[in-house]
Amino acid sequence: MTGRHVRDLGEVDESLVAVVGGKGAQLGALSRIEGVRVPAGFCVTTDAFRRIVAAAPSFDDQLDRLARLDPDDREAIAALSARIRRTVEGVGVPDDVAAAITAASGRLGEGAACAVRSSATAEDLPTASFAGQQDSYLNIVGPKAILRHVSRCWASLFTERAVIYRQRMGIDHRAVWMAVVVQRMVRPDAAGVLFTADPVTGNRRVAKVDAVLGLGEALVSGQTNPDVLTVRDGVVVDRTIAVKERAVRALPAGGTGEVAVEAGRQRRPALTDEQAVELVRLGRRIEARFGRPQDIEWCLADDGFRIVQSRPITTLFPVPEADDEENRVYVSVGHGQMMTDPMRPLGLSVWRLTAMVPMHEAGGRLFVDVTERLASPTGRAALLEVMGRGDPLVRDALETVVDREDFVLQVPDEEPGGPPAGAAPAPIETDPAIVAELIERGAASVAALERDIGTKSGPALFDFLLAAFDEHRRVLTDPLSLRVIMAGMEATWWLNDRLWEWLGEKNAADTLTLSAPDNVTSEMGLALLDVADVIRPRPEVVAFLRSVVEEGFPDEDFRSGDFRDGAFLDALARIPGGAEARDAVAGYLDRYGMRCAGEIDITRPRWCERPTTLVPAILDNVRNFAPGAAERRFAEGRRKAERKEAEVLARLRALPDGDRKADETKRMIDRVRTFIGYREYPKYGIVSRYLVYKRALLAEADRLVGAGVLAGREDVFSLTFQEFHEVVRSQRADEGLIRRREEAFRSYHALTPPRVLTSDGEALSGAYRRDDAPAGALLGLPVSGGTVEGRARVVLDLARADLAAGDILVTTFTDPSWSPLFLGIAGLVTEVGGLMTHGAVIAREYGLPAVLSVAGATRLIRDGQRIRVHGTDGYVELL
């Protein structure tokens, strides 16, 4: 039964989403799976809907107004969407469309009750389920009633919830069309939902069955609690049986209604264990057909299960691909690098090519496989020790996996068979000249790269870059550099451990390392204060910068502009007093312009490419600081460190064996102040090289655009390095691949990457096993001592920061690009971070109380709320 306006379910599959919508296409595909029974039915195609809206008065004008509304303006959206629904329902169904629907309904059986269900073209998709956003109707009897409810389904494309969902997902209202599925009604004994993976933990080996008596409408609407059965490896391993006092059933005259459940049935399971296992087997078949875990709606009638819907579970974090079926444990790279946002394919591949260990990609993020290290006692102990010092939540998550015993097979340590593979590194002297030498070496390496890459283009550029990546890794593994970093960290740990043991002083190294020399990241923040000093006495320049923030530059939102041509700096120079301001900003960009938020992703716009990103921070500095603040702050930090040193040494000398303890402590203070600042330099070197790589790659992209191979230069961001190389070699690009990659990247933003992920798909976030904080406090990792109370400012975008002196910054994570904001705040709270990650290092450098790894901080703390940060003890109080 094929026609322009009606298609039989057996005739359609996923290739016809544009014709029958997501639900219709999915049901058609389900009906073709052996052993899966789908109620008979047909689809009213999107062509019929197009005819309706074409006849709807002022429909286009209403859509234009709808697109301009703010997604948060619920009242305006409710009013306009209701008006659009009335407009659509007011259009009569054309006679030929009505005849086709009536004829198709008759073929389902004379007087047959039907389910009439919406099926939008953006529905049940891999990246957006649209579950419950449009309307469906059960037990509709008679041709006239079916036509009336088809019209209601068309109108439900503009329910308030559907409109807001599309706007939040960035889906154009005009890009979505509505089909309608009409199916023979099933009158089930039980119904419910099957998740072929655990929707909470993500474990793909676990299936969850929710079951109620009667129609599943009672479950979907929340009218009744379901039985919940957990099935693993073909066995029900857990069950919760609800008391079933009410059920929803089809009424004889049409529609549905609540009925009482007879007393003898109320405490009995809706499904037997055998039925639940059978249902999960069906679910596994469906999952295999669609290639990903499914959220399946089912009914159980006298003669078996019917499947009435299947959609992908869009909230699960993907699992890295592996060459075998072995159990694996992965640790997030982004949590260690303070960048948990998704990365584009070029960014992922360049980071992997320049990284020191193999990495695996999933959901636009990178992970390291630590299974082998967890398998041996020595490797496990070392890994847990390192992870625990950096991020206790990662350690806890790993210990959760290890404690299961059956997931990671334990192997004994290898018997020693001679001297160790690598002798212990020679001790390093506490000598500032070593740090100076390393900084000089790094600068020379970047200069050589800039010099040599200039003559390379075409395929030869990519060959050159592969060699440059080898040099990149060599610089990162310079033995002297690693020894300096470890010396600084070990001295920090020594001071914190010993001064706690001897003096009861927590995190003493925080104060002792204030204003340590050679910290390029803290210097970067202070240097922006100097830029503000140049701008502050020039009111026309200040006014111009404010206009950039408020109005955008030029004629567009400055946050999305790309000013490679220097337009912003040129415009700044034309303002009275602007030449000096331009020179100050340009000088800052010469030194730090390679940095940006999420800088480990080479595709992210650097400050030198988008200098307006810095404008809010510059204006904050102009407003919140007096001239000369950079020098004063650095000097004050040094004085605090000197006073702390004198106090600690005096207290130690008063102890038994005090001279020895004081002398050892003095040596470690000198050592930590000599070496701790250098820890920020390797990352500075990485992003300096990244800017050189990026400029060369974008020049190649521009050549491809000029040759008509690519539509835009940033299309290359959706290619891996190797694919980019092949496009340059062949002068051919797969436009479809690029668009699919862009869509996938957008979808990855909705996923929250776990700290630890298993090959079963289980996402583990870890927990704090402690009870030393007040009730209701948010627990985290203490990384910089002190206590501060103030106004919380929840900032998710560096370019939108609006901070006043004394504010406490609350955000997801900070990398070095956030350092300029640290100067004006009183404390720091982040969701991601460890003891030696950027936020912790700079918070200690600036003397800011800070608590990191606070789960859900940006959700649980309201912007503007007063909070108290306990940086020494690691918790946040909501006041």
Tokens of 787: 């206590």
Q: What is the DSSP string of 664-726?
A: HHHHHHHHHHHHGGGGGHHHHHHHHHHHHHHHHHHHHHHHHHHTTS-SSGGGGGGS-HHHHHH
Residue type, 172: D
What is the C-alpha separation between 292 and 311, in angstroms, rounded? 10
CB neighbours of residue 715 within 10 Å: 22
Task: Please state, in angstroms and rounded to a whole number, the distance separating the CA atoms of residues 391 and 822.
Answer: 21
| Pick from 628, 685, 710: nearest CA to 471 | 685
* d(C-alpha 675, C-alpha 685), whole Å: 17
* 780 pLDDT higher than 80: yes
The pTM (predicted TM-score) of the whole model is 0.86
pLDDT score for 123: 56
Asked if 326 contacts 582 with a C-beta cutoff of 8 angstroms, the reply is: no
What span, in angstroms and rounded, lies between the C-alpha atoms of 674 and 376? Answer: 36
Give the distance, in angstroms, between the CA of residue 371 and the centroid of all CA atoms in the same chain: 24
- What CA–CA distance (Å, rounded) separates 116 from 165? 22
Please count the helices (runs of H) and the strands (runs of E) in the chain. Answer: 31, 26
- Please say if the pLDDT value at position 473 is more than 80: yes
**Which residues are catalytic, by number?**
838
pLDDT in tens, 228-286: 999 999 999 999 999 988 899 989 888 888 888 999 899 999 999 999 999 999 999 99
pLDDT for the residue 415: 61
- Band the pLDDT of 555: cuts 50, 70, 90: very low
pLDDT reading at 317 higher than 90: yes
Please tell me which residue, 778 or 555, carries the higher pLDDT value. Answer: 778
For 139-143, what is the mean pLDDT?
93
Q: Which long-range contacts (CB under 8 A, 24 or more apart) does 451-457 make?
A: 453/692, 453/693, 453/696, 456/696, 457/699, 457/700, 457/703
Structure-model confidence comparison of residues 193 and 839, the more confident one: 193
**Sorting pLDDT into bands at 50, 70 and 90, what band is 68?**
confident
Tokens standing for residue 261: 């459940």
Residue 731 has pLDDT above 90, yes or no: yes
What's 2's DSSP letter?
A: B
Interatomic CA distance for residues 210 and 192, integer angstroms: 5
Residue-wise pLDDT tens digits, 656-686: 999 999 999 999 999 999 999 999 999 999 9
Q: What is the largest CA-CA distance in the chain?
A: 101
pLDDT > 90 fraction of the chain, expressed in percent and rounded: 73
Q: pLDDT at position 425, please? A: 53
pLDDT computed for residue 32 by the predictor: 93
| 569 neighbors 608 (Cβ within 8 angstroms) | no
What is the arithmetic mean of pLDDT over 856-875? 95
How many other CB atoms are there within 10 angstroms of residue 631's CB atom? 13
As to burial, measured by CB atoms within 10 angstroms (0-12 exposed, 13-18 middle, 19+ buried), residue 742 is middle
- Does the pLDDT of residue 564 top 50, yes or no? no
- The predicted-structure confidence for 805-823, as pLDDT tens digits, reads as follows 899 999 998 888 888 888 8
C-alpha 212: how far from its chain's center? 35
Q: Give buried/exposed letters for 570-605 (b at 16+ CB in 10 A, else e).
A: ebbbebebbeebbebbbebbeebbbbbbbbbbbbbb
Record the tokens describing residue 354, joined without a space.
Answer: 């320049």
**Token pair in block for residue 473:** 């890794």
Q: Is the pLDDT of residue 559 over 60?
A: no
Average per-residue pLDDT for the chain: 91
